[in-house]
Amino acid sequence: MIRAAYALVFLFLTALAAHAGDDPYVRPSDIDLLAILAPAPAPDSAITREDLRILLDLQATRTPEMVAMANADVQRTLQRFSQVVGTDLSTARAPKANALVDKATADSAAIFLPAKAKWQRLRPYVQFPQIKLVVPPEDTYSYPSGHAAFGMGTAILLANMVPEKAVAIYERGVQFGFERAIAGVHYPS
């Protein structure tokens, strides 16, 4: 999940330079995820079995604080990075930064949604009934993760705006994606 997010974000940000104005920063024709990312692991693969083991461990050890954070991060908003940056990143306080992240998020969805449709990796709680959700269910496929892409994409944009906090921002970006495994809606792979 994290490697796929890094690849998507790197390619996405590389393509940002090619587009300006009201046009999309990047178009689906700029990045072919089906040619770049590995296919999702097969449902009966060793990777999926290891994913299930990890998910069950996470489920057994998740704390109320982890559950609260996973629920808060269901919403993909720049404001979820406020604490690590040390300032209010709400739309009212940071409208231009929010507009940038919102546009980048919309553009990236146009790239990863076709890959989800192609690979159709079921969400863990659909494939394995023993996985118990702590967030609302999703009606899309699991791979690649839009939340992991958002977390890392936002982290890259923010780290360029606030380079002195880059390490903490990147850690938050990784956490944003990994919380989806904690919540039971994504696989750790």
pLDDT by residue (tens digit) across 138-152? 999 999 999 999 999
**Cα separation, 96 vs 100, whole angstroms:** 6
Asked if residue 156 is part of any domain, the answer here is yes
Residue 53 and residue 188 in contact, taking contact as beta carbons nearer than 8 Å: no
**Residue 54: is its pLDDT beyond 90?**
yes
Asked if residue 189 is part of any domain, the answer here is no
**Cα separation, 6 vs 155, whole angstroms:** 11
CA 181 from centre of chain: 11
Provide the domain count of the chain. Answer: 1
Residue 84 and residue 168 in contact, taking contact as beta carbons nearer than 8 Å: yes
Residue scoring higher pLDDT (22 or 123): 123
**Cα separation, 175 vs 186, whole angstroms:** 13
Domain range for 175? 2-19+30-183
At 75-129, the pLDDT tens digits run 999 999 999 999 999 999 999 999 999 999 988 888 889 999 999 999 999 999 9
Mean pLDDT lowest for which of 8-17, 26-35, 88-97? 8-17
Asked if residue 82 is part of any domain, the answer here is yes
**Cα separation, 166 vs 24, whole angstroms:** 26
Residue with tokens 């982890």: 66
* Six token digits for residue 43: 């449902």
**CATH code for the domain in which residue 156 is found:** 1.20.144.10
Asked if residue 163 is part of any domain, the answer here is yes
pLDDT at 21: 59
pLDDT at 18: 44
